[in-house]
Amino acid sequence: MEVPSLVLTVPTLNPPFRYNSGPRLGVIVGIGAAMSQVFEGYERQYCELSANLSRKCTSAGLLDGEQKKQKITEIKTGLDDAEALIRKMDLQARSLPSNAKAMLLAKLREYKTDLNNLKSEVKRITSANTNQSARDELLGSGMADAMMYV
């Protein structure tokens, strides 16, 4: 019986984040297929969610007002879902034999970095929204003051 070779692919973290659906990910010699498939399922969900969140961040940057607030709320909900998937992948990876665990935990670190990048993007978008609101408020009150002196 021939033993399958090690196949482990790490998707590129550059947006858009894409899941590589080529050779089976996580098929590692000595790992039970069910455990590997569970990790792969979480991984696939995370990659799809990450790509979706990245697109939403891009579109949120182009919006303003109430639409932007709604989009940011959607993104924050997605970030919570992404964190839950990472926790599940972490638990799954830690339950595997040490030879597989190290490789999957390395992938997991990349996903955590990706998630932190998405969180930073949301903060940037949110602060831009807050800065614009403060500016509008200041300009609005400045205009009222200017009208008093006319």
Is 1 part of any domain?
no
Cα gap 44→64, rounded to integer Å? 32
State the average pLDDT over residues 46-65. Answer: 95
Would the pLDDT of 136 be above 80?
Answer: no
Domain of residue 115 covers 33-148
Is 138 part of any domain?
yes
What b/e string do you get for 45-79 counting C-beta neighbours within 10 Å, with b at 16 or more?
Answer: bbbebbbbbbebbeebeeeeeeebeebbeebeebb
pLDDT on residue 123? 95
State the average pLDDT over residues 7-36. Answer: 46
Is 101 part of any domain?
yes
Q: What's 143's domain CATH number?
A: 1.20.58.400
Is 2 part of any domain?
no
Provide the domain count of the chain.
Answer: 1
Cα gap 49→56, rounded to integer Å? 10
Q: Distance from CA of residue 79 to its chain's centroid?
A: 6
Is 25 part of any domain?
no
Is 57 part of any domain?
yes
Cα gap 134→100, rounded to integer Å? 51
pLDDT on residue 23? 38
pLDDT digits (tens, 9 = 90+) for 70-88: 999 999 999 999 999 999 9
Is 129 part of any domain?
yes
**Average pLDDT of the chain to the nearest whole number:** 78
Residue 137 or 124, more confident:
124
Q: Among 69, 60, 57, which residue's Cα sits nearest to residue 133?
A: 69
Read off the pTM.
0.67
pLDDT on residue 9? 41
State the average pLDDT over residues 125-140. Answer: 70
Cα gap 150→143, rounded to integer Å? 11
Is 17 part of any domain?
no
